[in-house]
Structure 1
């Protein structure tokens, strides 16, 4: 693969304008149903949890309710665990791992911690199996003041009233083969930059906050997930996706400066998970279970080390 990978939208070296973004949008196709696959599962939880619509997206003729699941026994005296998924809509296990956690494990934390779960932050992208929203914006670089992404702005408004009480935030993601075949070339084309080929790590890993690292917390998540699926090894440079591996399966990003979802609060404990659903060593069921196990381990550690 050459440094300037071909992408069918735009002119190499020139950032996209409105015409290129419109051309990109015209190529996007709905592949699955947010209502059938996500909303229906959230509705099935209403007998046990509170469900709130915290916003609504309108893209063309499409309208998407943004739904959050909350502990029914919410107690302001308790800390809050924030669980987010589907910031990148194509990352399927982030969405369904969050829902699996609520369905199978959330009841275990009643009376211990308040749960706030936003399982599918980007429903338009979920349906189109894409990383960006309809405006060719990456929501996971947009968690900042005056956000250009409605998805990110809506979550920040949801979290704001409880932000000071958030003890732990776990943001569920995937790294897929399409990161390298589609999304990174598209990003380079959109921004008018040369495409630099990279590798896709085979396995689960987490991203700690470089500004406030919590190595024991990250290791607890890794150890729990290792019982479900394999952990990504470092590459020949001692890195995962271009970042130094600071412990098995752990890299660090500056979460807030990068506008990442995991930096949306000042929680003491925060992490971004990444699974690899395209691995021959993993199944979709394992990926969902790994995400749910990561959430449980994160909350357990946070409660034990308050």
Structure 2
């Protein structure tokens, strides 16, 4: 059966301003950044330094972008970066980052400098979407002269120490809506045919193909496997169209693709992906898997500081 075309645009023709406006008019607020994120960050000020590293001013409202830092920052300590919510609809990326700060970060006090940006795309968080209001994917926009203010703000935040970061973990999800909404929308926006894909059931990681760190990735996989299941390769030996290089791990060229995990020169980089729509996982497990991944990433980097 032929799938109906995406409801915006003309098949085969990329969107212009009119189509983007039509798409934006369909997006509705479904949850609150202030209630879900800002209110959770507020009590953390008692133990961490919290600062506004940017502000998104859109027609629909203004969103402060907050970063959480170690209270006693010391330049000689290794710097660990945790990011979440680059894609606002990927819920455990945001709440996993906040849960890590709430429950686990304090045990690393005095051993690392920690920087956490838990919700990079608050407009998309509220609308449970992948893009910003201009139909841009922030996770393809971490590059010079970025067209996405969400990406540009994070790049400004890390610019002073991008060469000193030891580990960066970027927290994501892969959901059923990737296949039902986001891939069709992307194809329509770009005037291309929509190629059906397969959603992997379980947790997996995306390593940097230009500087792979297989032992680092496997340490994270081993820790997460105690919390939730790891995604198997499909019949082609792939996950989301990329070859599986080790259990639960694929590789992308993080920097050249403009992905968040490539925003620094950290020797240890990874992107997590959990599957919240799995019948074998709960929202709590997804958050716990993100926390386990962050802790394992930090522990490995501390044990192998040379990278």
The two structures have a TM-score, normalised by structure 1, of: 0.99
Tell me which residue corresponds to 1:115: 114
Map 1:225-236 onto structure 2 (within 5 A): 225-236=224-235
Tell me which residue corresponds to 2:135: 136
Q: Deviations over 1:224-247 (max 9, x none)?
A: 000000000000000000000000
In 2, are the aligned partners of 1:238 and 1:244 still within 8 Å (CA)?
yes
Q: Work out the CA distance in 2 between the residues paired with 1:209 and 1:128.
A: 30
Map 1:157-176 onto structure 2 (within 5 A): 157-176=156-175
SS at 2:68 equivalent: strand
In 2, are the aligned partners of 1:5 and 1:185 still within 8 Å (CA)?
no
Offset of residue 5 of structure 1: 5.2
Tell me which residue corresponds to 2:185: 186
SS at 1:56 equivalent: strand
Q: Work out the CA distance in 1 between the residues paired with 2:4 and 2:295.
A: 40
Tell me which residue corresponds to 1:296: 295
Tell me which residue corresponds to 2:100: 101
Q: Deviations over 1:69-125 (max 9, x none)?
A: 000011111111000000000000000000000011101111111000000000000
Tell me which residue corresponds to 2:58: 59
In 1, are the aligned partners of 2:164 and 2:265 still within 8 Å (CA)?
no
Q: Work out the CA distance in 2 between the residues paired with 1:52 and 1:79.
A: 20
Tell me which residue corresponds to 1:75: 74
Offset of residue 61 of structure 1: 3.6
Q: Work out the CA distance in 2 between the residues paired with 1:123 and 1:270.
A: 23
Q: Work out the CA distance in 2 between the residues paired with 1:216 and 1:6.
A: 44
Tell me which residue corresponds to 2:46: 47
In 1, are the aligned partners of 2:230 and 2:248 still within 8 Å (CA)?
yes
SS at 2:163 equivalent: helix
Tell me which residue corresponds to 1:12: 11
Q: Work out the CA distance in 1 between the residues paired with 2:60 and 2:198.
A: 37
Q: Work out the CA distance in 2 between the residues paired with 1:47 and 1:86.
A: 23
- The yes-or-no answer on 1:177 pairing with 2:176 is yes
- The root-mean-square deviation of aligned C-alpha atoms, in Å, is 0.8
Q: Work out the CA distance in 2 between the residues paired with 1:49 and 1:110.
A: 10
Structure 1's unaligned 5+ residue stretches are none
Q: Deviations over 1:12-63 (max 9, x none)?
A: 0000000000000000000000000000000010100000000000110400
In 2, are the aligned partners of 1:5 and 1:195 still within 8 Å (CA)?
no
Offset of residue 127 of structure 1: 0.0
Q: Deviations over 1:146-202 (max 9, x none)?
A: 000000000000001121210000000000000000000000000000000000000
Q: Work out the CA distance in 1 between the residues paired with 2:297 and 2:284.
A: 20
Q: Work out the CA distance in 2 between the residues paired with 1:186 and 1:257.
A: 23
Q: Work out the CA distance in 1 between the residues paired with 2:5 and 2:240.
A: 21
Q: Work out the CA distance in 2 between the residues paired with 1:238 and 1:60.
A: 45
Q: Work out the CA distance in 2 between the residues paired with 1:5 and 1:248.
A: 36
SS at 1:164 equivalent: coil
Q: Work out the CA distance in 1 between the residues paired with 2:60 and 2:114.
A: 33
In 2, are the aligned partners of 1:33 and 1:127 still within 8 Å (CA)?
yes
Which stretch shows the higher mean deviation, 104-113 or 4-13?
Answer: 4-13
- The yes-or-no answer on 1:282 pairing with 2:281 is yes
Instruction: List structure 1 runs of 4+ shifted beyond 6 angstroms.
Output: none
Tell me which residue corresponds to 2:198: 199
SS at 1:144 equivalent: coil
Structure 2's unaligned 5+ residue stretches are none
